[in-house]
């Protein structure tokens, strides 16, 4: 175990995989000489050189689809999306190529690749750079979607992602790169997909969340605990595949559920959780499933407006109380 | 009328090996022609659904190029892809079964006409999205370079793809990183119903592709001997120099854009233009040379045609009699 | 009133608008000389010429963003997406430009444009050409999303779309172009956005749907009626804005709801309906909200598999019975 | 080191109108320089958040081109956009207020540095997505042609945009339909930390853009007089001939890619290269000519600088004292 931040944990996973398998290579904008916009790949260009750590032109569709072709032939590309907002340009390559080639080839051509990078608001990056896109990807069959909240999860899940034989959407959060935690240094440490992690136990209400939402929820839980309300926090970690069993188990105990995410509320991923909980745990529910999510607006630049556009601890605490009322 | 200025070359038919090769070129083009004709029939019988794009008229391009490949090479194509797999030697039965959506098909009936795959024959897919195949092929060539292999990758697509942004992005990366990919645009003058001069600001496509730091040239895509000669040179260049190449093959399709096309000829091209191009039928041209030079006789050709018709008929029967995929197949192959 | 099919009703709306306002122009692949892949624009090139009816190169991002710029300066582009599956290539232009420019310019630059074309499965077009993408667009603020089910709705809603001052996602369905119905010929006939239409009344269960789902549901309703089950069918017509009031009113009567759509089930639009109904009509529900939706797989080519991948009347009837059980 | 070969031209300073114009060019460049310096201060004070890209070093490009526009013309730019709006005459107070996210800002605080808009001054937006501005500008020029107006549209972007597929698609359409758009690439040698030769297979960008059926040229972007002379000619050409034009302005940024950039100089470019380019500072060059030729005196320039500093200070004060947008603003302007 070593203490390190989320950013360094991701880098450690990359280093271990670059060392383990020569077919693993990194590609993305400014990941090399510039050391990465969020410095996740710092030092790797010097260590592995331009063949393994490739500075790409500003051509997201181009280098993503190139990675797809390379993956079909057995390489293991790990693509950095400088931010997932730029992933919007590569939707066709991701959703209509990477995700479908295995199926349309009748199982002949797996596409083992990872696309990773930050997604989410909170840095005043305004309308065009603040997307959380997990809902779009989770909606599209053929992809796995990973959203780690802690350094250890980030490392363990990224390792699993690179070992997986499918296209993996790996979403980091710009606001938690600096968060610290214990991280296993064992290069065999991996966290399986589709296994939620209960980050806090409690009896009164279940919060279902992932990524930054976990940290917000833990904060809210502290406040609530002072008022005698004990929430259980289920960190999904991967939303495709999704571990609904853990959610249902928790709801069977608490009878209340609140979903928390940064992404827009309307037709957001919270709706899927709500729909499943009410469908499969209808009789367990003492109150409707509530959603605490991003406001349905393009992200404003203004600091004060941005704060209003994203979920806060207060919003979560208020929703929990509403569910308990 | 945009027609190539490259003159068809005559063949050197000195050796018996060369004779056999010439006959094989013809055989492959004929197989494609007869196969496509059968597809058209099956489509009218509503056995083939969805979109069906036939390769009739363009056979020389695939056959000429693919004849020069080695086993470490790879091919990627757009949705008009039957010609590629047949030239690569895929089993016509499995191809036809795929077109009928049967479980014995190349892709277990899941891909269909636009999405053939045959890994054993080095075909890494037909793609339905304009531009898509260019990204895939660039990545396949990237792997060849990354692993320091000596293979090359052929990427076939239509003139309509010239306007896809992805092409520009991939050409730049291929040029930047010296990837061993040969981009072959089959310029058949039309993207669906839109003529080249209505979709491309520069109608010389070899010129349009000349600004990415690698060579490009225009060739006659109606003459298989000319295609083969050019292909030999281009493939050798790329295999040795390890850099991309762009080839504009001037060609023409003798059939509608898709088998369902009811506006052709008429709404976007004239019957006269079509007839004029049919005079350059790649099969007829090669046949004239072969027979004229005594490489093969008319009656031997007739025998060949009968054999091919039998192969195609057998493929049709096989496809007809094959089973549909079982219901469980729906949820298989989503994730590897 | 005139009897005409869905395709002709759309064309009629286009003709009326081309005649009314010279700023209206059509652009798309093969909409002119080729007469349109689904023949919606048949004859319009001959009638209006190449300035008003423009054959575009295969450059979806290009011509969509060009239309955005033209719209900002006061033109009224009506873009045809040959199929919405190709709209995936233009997601950035639609979601990160068209939808956000009004907001990020602080209200200075509206973007009045329509993007229309077929979306949905059923023609054996396989994995890359069979998308229903309404969920992605509904999730993205700044867009309005329209999915007409009948010829009259198609005409009335398309007119409203062209008069609107925002980017409009207008999704036709390839399987209903030939459906006939009465269509008002009055050029002032318009149907407002955000007003659902009850296509059938009933007391036992509410089906919430749109586009092809309406026709399937009407078929299912006939079967169910024979068994004495009377369903109410709410055709949302537009999913953004959405008329949840009509849905809640119906559920208050029937106490059961089933959502039907072609799009993938997981994180699909049905989840939003389910989430809202359980949240705002929790006490009205006698059973969970159920979803009848597309299978979560890339669309297979095979006819038999494709049939299994999309909702059928039988699926709907079975879901209604489950809700009533 | 890639440096332009175009030689700076000296000015003809015969008339008092011309003198006033020269002084105005200098004044605008100085306003941009001082404004950007103030932005940097405000960023360090954490008053400006998000991404902040300064125009220091590149002032001659915007100022030279924009000086030649008429009121029916339009401008669209990428995210490094302060220079464009200031050259177009936007109120520095409203610009600074926008950067501080205040309700008095150009976009009510919703856009921020990368997304300035000023319709009254014909600025149709800064865009944060590489390539995005090219589509918008092409559409704006499409409208000018569609309505048969005689305006032209300037579109500014960086060398990194050359690799965006959207550029290729738009250049083709602009060439195909003869749109009156002038694409100006500010080639400052780097896309963030990636040097031109590492991102572009062809480093002569004018050549790269030469295959779409419209003219292209390289100009010296460090010399405002040279830019102005070229701009006059190019704009006249496009206004009259109604066809697109591509201009590669060779320039250099004297500051990091973004104000937060901690790797520059050092990780991707050298201090020496930076210093060498700083010797070609567009302000210093013009100043030398103006003073040398007696167009303006050193002390008049000092007065000008004082005035501009006062304007910038006033803008900073205005921005500081302006109110944040009210909470209700969050849900306003989503739909028109
Ligand atoms: C991105 C995208 N846009 C549109 C289409 C629809 N489409 C299929 S084929 C075609 C024409 C392509 O013409 P070309 O590339 O010249 O190939 P050809 O059919 O002539 O062989 C079009 C527009 C598509 N498949 N993908
Ligand atoms: C589609 C997209 N990809 C990546 C980025 C991130 N990014 C912002 S600026 C930039 C470099 C652009 O360089 P250039 O175009 O040369 O302009 P300059 O900054 O030199 O003025 C990059 C990669 C982006 N904004 N949009
Ligand atoms: Mg073609
Ligand atoms: Mg640059």
The answer to whether residue B330 sits within a structural domain is no
Q: What is the 3-state secondary structure (H, E, C) of chain A?
A: CEEEEHHHHHHHHHHHHHHHCCCEEEEECCCCCCCCCCCCCCCHHHHHHHHHEEECCCCHHHHHHHHHHHHHCCCEEEEECCCHHHHHHHHHHHHHHHCCHHHHCCCCCCCCEEEEEECCCCCCCCCCCCCCCHHHHHHCCCCEEECCCCHHHHHHHHHHHHHCCCEEEEEECCCCCCCEEEECCCCCCCCCCCCCEEEECCCCEEEEECCHHHHHHHHHHHHHHHCCCCEEEEECCEEECCCHHHHHHHHHHHCCEEEEEEEECCCCHHHHHHHHHHHHCHHHCCCCCEEEEECCCCCCCCHHHHHHHCCCHHHHHHHHHHHHC
Dihedral of CA B139/B142/B143/B146: which sign?
A: negative
Handedness of CA A6, A8, A11, A17 (dihedral sign): negative
pLDDT per position as a tens digit, B253-305: 999 999 988 778 888 999 999 999 999 999 999 999 999 999 999 999 999 99
- Closest C-chain CA to D72: C73
Of A37-41, B170-174, C14-18, D5-9, which range is least confident? D5-9
Q: What is the mean pLDDT of residues D7-12?
A: 52
In the predicted model, what is the mean pLDDT of residues B33-53?
Answer: 97
Say if residue B17's pLDDT is above 70. Answer: yes
- The answer to whether residue B243 is domain-embedded is yes
Rounded distance from Cα D113 to ligand 2 centre (Å): 14
Given a cut of 80, whether residue D13 has pLDDT beyond it is: no
Residues C207 and C179 in one domain: no
Cα–Cα distance, D105 to D113 (Å, whole number) = 10
CA dihedral C210, C215, C221, C223 (to 10 degrees): -150
Over residues A42-63, mean pLDDT: 98
Which range of residues forms the domain containing residue C232?
197-324
| Residue B94 confidence (pLDDT) | 98
| For the CA of B161, the nearest atom of ligand 1 | 15
Backbone φ and ψ of D79, nearest 5°: -70, -20
In the predicted model, is pLDDT for residue A15 greater than 60?
yes
- Residue C235 parent element (H or E): strand C231-235
Residues C17 and C151 in one domain: yes
- Report yes or no on A104 lying in a domain: yes
Kindly state whether residue A238 falls inside one of the protein's structural domains: yes
Inter-chain CB proximity A126 and D130 less than 8 Å: no
Candidate from A124, A129, A300 with C-beta closest to D330? A300
Tell the residue number behind the tokens 């690179």, with chain if given.
A162
* Cα gap B206→B218, rounded to integer Å: 6
- Percentages helix, strand, coil for chain D (3-state, rounded to 5) are 50, 10, 40
% residues pLDDT > 70 (chain C): 100
The predicted model gives B209-226 an average pLDDT of 98
- Co-location of A168 and A73 in the same domain: yes
Residue D11 lies in a domain: no
Q: What are the chain B neighbours of A51 within 8 Å (beta carbons)? A: 146
Residues 6 or more apart from A191 whose CB is under 8 A from it? A152, A153, A156, A157, A159, A160, A237
* Residues B14, B17, B18, B23, Cα dihedral to 10°: 120
Is B144 among the domain residues?
A: yes
Q: In sequence order, what are the residues at sequence separation of 6 or more whose Cβ sits closer than 8 angstroms to the Cβ of residue B272?
A: none
Residue B87 inside a domain? The answer is yes
Residue B98 belongs to what H/E stretch?
A: helix B92-99
Query: In this predicted model, what pLDDT tens digit does every residue of A136-153 receive, in sequence order?
Result: 999 999 999 999 999 999
* D291 pLDDT more than 70: yes
- Please check the confidence at residue D5 and state whether its pLDDT lies above 50: no
Query: What are the Cα distances from residue B292, in Å, to B10, B33, B289, C294, D122?
Result: 11, 22, 5, 59, 70
Q: Report yes or no: B191 and B159 within 8 Å, Cβ to Cβ.
A: yes
Over residues B113-168, the pLDDT tens digits come to 999 999 999 999 999 999 999 999 999 999 999 999 999 999 999 999 999 999 99
Same domain, A65 and A205: no
C203 with C110, same domain? no
Torsions phi, psi of B116, nearest 5?
-75, 145
Closest CA to D66 of D157, D153, D186: D153
Q: Which residues pair with D153 in a beta bridge?
A: D74, D181
Q: Are residues A133 and A19 in the same domain?
A: yes
Helix, strand, or coil here: D102?
coil
| Cβ–Cβ < 8 Å for B203, B197 | yes
The token duo for C117 is 């074309």
Euclidean distance between CA atoms B214 and B243, whole angstroms: 7
Where is B127: in which H helix or E strand?
strand B123-127
Burial class from Cβ neighbours inside 10 Å (0-12, 13-18, 19+) for residue A269 reads: buried
Query: Are A259 and A228 part of one and the same domain?
Result: yes
pLDDT value for B1: 39
Two tokens, residue B313: 């008929």
Q: Closest Cα to atom 18, ligand 1: which residue?
A: B158
Q: How many residues does chain A have?
A: 325
Residue A18 has phi, psi (to 5 degrees) of -60, -35
Residue in the block written with tokens 């000519």: D289
Residues C66 and C144 in one domain: yes
**CA-closest candidate to residue A114, choices A184, A1, A27, A220:** A27
For residue B226, give Cα distances in angstroms to B12, B229, D324: 12, 5, 71
Q: What is the pLDDT of residue B13?
A: 58
pLDDT digits (tens, 9 = 90+) for B82-104: 999 999 999 999 999 999 999 99
**Cis peptide leading into residue A115 (ω within 30°):** no
Residue-wise pLDDT for A209-268, tens only, equals: 999 999 999 999 999 999 999 999 999 999 999 999 999 999 999 999 999 999 999 999
Q: What is the mean pLDDT of residues D284-306?
A: 96
Helix (H) or strand (E) segment spanning residue B59: helix B59-66
Q: How far separated are the first and last CA of chain D, in Å rounded? A: 49
Per annotation, catalytic residue among A60, A134, A306, A313 = A60
Q: How far, in Å, from the CA of B195 to the mean position of ligand 3?
A: 8
Q: What is the ipTM of this complex?
A: 0.97
Number of domains composing chain B: 1
C50 neighbors C96 (Cβ within 8 angstroms):
no
Give the helix/strand (H/E) hosting B156.
Answer: strand B153-158
How many domains, chain C?
A: 2
Same domain? For A220 and A173 the reply is no
d(C-alpha D149, C-alpha D153), whole Å? 11
Specify the pLDDT at position B10.
Answer: 55
**A63 and A201 share a domain?**
no
B3 occurs within a structural domain: no
Read off the pLDDT of residues A109-123 as tens digits, 9 standing for 90 and up: 999 999 999 999 999
Q: Are D282 and D219 in contact (CB under 8 A)?
A: no
Residue D118 belongs to domain spanning: 16-322
Distance from CA of A19 to the nearest CA of D (A): 24
Contact B102 C302 (CB under 8 A): yes
pLDDT tens digit sequence for C40-49? 999 999 999 9
Mean pLDDT within A56-62: 98
Over residues D118-147, mean pLDDT: 98
Write out pLDDT tens, residues D95-117. Answer: 999 999 999 999 999 999 999 99
Measuring from each residue's beta carbon to the nearest atom of ligand 1, which residues come in under 6 Å?
B 80, 128-130, 157-161, 186, 188, 190-192, 257; C 29, 58, 60, 82, 86, 89
pLDDT above 80 (res A33): yes
The enclosing domain of A313 has a CATH number of 3.40.50.920
Residue-wise pLDDT tens digits, C229-280: 999 999 999 999 999 999 999 999 999 999 999 999 999 999 999 999 999 9
Give the rounded percent of residues in chain B with a pLDDT score beyond 70. 96
Residue that terminates a domain, selected from A158, A183, A208: A183
Pairing of strands C238-240, C144-146: antiparallel
Residue D159 or residue D4, greater confidence: D159
**What does the CA dihedral A235, A239, A244, A249 come to, rounded to 10 degrees?**
0
CATH of the domain at C113: 3.40.50.970
Residues C229 and C109 in one domain: no
Residues C164 and C204 in one domain: no
Q: Is residue C241 reached through a cis peptide bond, with omega within 30 degrees of 0 on the bond before it?
A: yes
Q: Is residue A283 part of a domain?
A: yes
Of B109, B164, B114, nearest to B333 by C-alpha is B109
Mean pLDDT for B318-330 is 98
B202 part of contact set with chain D, CB < 8 Å:
yes
Which of the four pLDDT bands, split at 50, 70 and 90, describes residue B11? Answer: low
Q: Is the pLDDT of residue C203 over 90?
A: yes
What DSSP character marks residue C90?
G
DSSP lists the bridge partners of residue A171 as: A117
**How far apart are the C-alpha atoms of D275 and D259, rounded to whole Å?**
19
Centroid of chain to Cα A205: 23
- Assess if residue C189 is contained within a domain: no
Question: For the domain that residue D295 is a member of, what is the CATH number?
Answer: 3.40.50.970
Q: Residue A188 falls within a domain, yes or no?
A: no
**Segment (H or E) for D35:** helix D16-44
Determine contact: D206 vs chain B, CB below 8 A. Answer: no
Ligand 1 centroid, distance to B191 Cα (angstroms): 6
Residue C180, min C-alpha distance to chain D (Å):
33
Element (H, E) at D199: helix D196-199
In a domain, A18, yes or no: yes
Q: Which residue in this structure is represented by tokens 């009878």?
A: A255
Instruction: Give the environment of ion ligand 4: residues with CB less than 5 A.
Output: D 158-159, 188, 191
CA distance C2 to C146: 23
Whether A60 is catalytic is: yes
Separation CA C124–CA A52 (nearest Å): 41
In a domain, C140, yes or no: yes
Q: What percent of chain A has pLDDT over 90?
A: 100
In a domain, D81, yes or no: yes
Helices marked H in chain C: 6-20, 44-52, 60-72, 91-93, 101-104, 134-139, 151-163, 212-226, 244-254, 269-280, 303-309, 313-324
In a domain, C191, yes or no: no
Closest by CA position to B64, among listed B92, B87, B85:
B87
C129 is a catalytic site residue: yes
pTM: 0.97
**What was the pLDDT predicted at D12?**
57
* Residue B261 belongs to a domain: yes
């Amino acid at each position: 175990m070593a203490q390190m931040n989320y950013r360094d944990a991701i880098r450690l996973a990359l280093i271990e995989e670059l060392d383990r398998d020569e077919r693993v290579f990194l590609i993305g904008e400014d990941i090399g000489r510039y050391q990465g916009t969020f410095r996740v790949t710092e030092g790797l260009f010097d260590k592995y050189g331009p063949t393994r750590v490739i500075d790409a032109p500003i051509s997201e569709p181009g280098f993503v689809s190139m990675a797809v072709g390379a993956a079909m032939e057995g390489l293991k590309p790990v693509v950095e999306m400088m931010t997932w907002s730029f992933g919007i340009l590569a939707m066709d390559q991701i959703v209509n190529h990477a995700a479908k080639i295995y199926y349309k080839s009748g199982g002949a051509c797996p596409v083992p690749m990872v696309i990773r990078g930050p997604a989410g608001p909170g840095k005043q990056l305004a309308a065009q750079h603040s997307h959380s896109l997990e809902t779009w990807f989770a909606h599209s069959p053929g992809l796995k979607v990973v959203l780690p909240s802690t350094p250890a999860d980030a490392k363990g899940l990224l390792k699993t992602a690179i070992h997986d034989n499918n296209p993996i959407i790996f979403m980091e959060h710009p606001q938690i790169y600096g968060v610290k935690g214990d991280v296993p240094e064992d290069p065999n440490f991996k966290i399986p997909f589709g296994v939620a992690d209960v980050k806090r136990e409690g009896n009164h209400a279940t919060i279902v969340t992932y990524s930054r939402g976990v940290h917000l929820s833990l904060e809210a839980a502290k406040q609530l605990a002072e008022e005698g309300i004990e929430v259980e926090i289920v960190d999904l970690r991967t939303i495709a595949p999704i571990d609904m069993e853990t959610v249902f188990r928790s709801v069977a105990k608490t009878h209340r559920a609140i979903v928390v995410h940064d992404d827009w509320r309307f037709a957001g991923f919270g709706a899927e959780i709500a729909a499943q909980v009410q469908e499969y745990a209808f009789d367990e529910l003492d109150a409707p499933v509530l959603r605490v999510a991003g406001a349905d607006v393009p992200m404003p630049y203004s600091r004060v407006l941005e704060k209003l556009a994203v979920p806060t601890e207060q919003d979560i605490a208020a929703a929990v109380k509403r569910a308990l009322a | 009328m945009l027609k190539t200025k490259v003159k068809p070359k005559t063949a050197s038919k000195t050796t018996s090996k060369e004779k056999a090769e010439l006959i094989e070129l013809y055989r492959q083009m004929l197989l494609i022609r007869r196969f496509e004709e059968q597809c058209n029939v099956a489509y009218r019988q509503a056995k083939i659904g969805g979109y069906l794009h036939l390769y009739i008229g363009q056979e020389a391009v695939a056959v000429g190029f693919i004849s020069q490949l080695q086993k470490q090479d790879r091919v990627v194509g757009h949705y008009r892809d039957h010609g590629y797999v047949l030239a690569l030697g895929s089993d016509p039965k499995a191809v036809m079964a795929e077109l009928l959506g049967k479980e014995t098909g190349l892709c277990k009936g899941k891909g269909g006409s636009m999405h053939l795959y045959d890994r054993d024959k080095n075909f890494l897919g037909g793609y339905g999205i304009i531009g898509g195949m260019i990204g895939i092929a660039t990545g396949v060539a990237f792997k060849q370079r990354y692993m320091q292999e000596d293979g090359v990758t052929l990427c076939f697509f239509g003139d309509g793809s010239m306007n896809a942004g992805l092409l520009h992005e991939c050409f730049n990366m291929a040029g930047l990183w010296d990837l061993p990919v040969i981009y072959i645009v089959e310029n058949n003058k039309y993207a669906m119903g839109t003529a080249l001069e209505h979709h491309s600001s520069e109608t010389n496509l070899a010129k349009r592709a000349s600004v990415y730091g690698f060579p490009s040239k225009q060739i006659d895509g109606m003459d298989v001997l000319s295609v083969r000669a050019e292909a030999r040179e281009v493939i050798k260049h790329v295999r040795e120099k390890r850099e991309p190449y762009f080839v504009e093959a001037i060609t023409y399709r003798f059939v509608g854009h898709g088998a369902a096309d009811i506006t052709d000829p008429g709404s976007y091209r004239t019957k006269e233009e079509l007839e004029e191009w049919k005079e350059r039928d790649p099969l007829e041209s090669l046949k004239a040379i072969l027979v004229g030079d005594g490489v093969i006789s008319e009656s031997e050709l007739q025998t060949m045609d009968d054999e091919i018709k039998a192969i195609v008929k057998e493929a049709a029967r096989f496809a007809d009699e094959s089973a549909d995929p079982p219901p469980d197949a729906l949820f298989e192959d989503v994730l590897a």
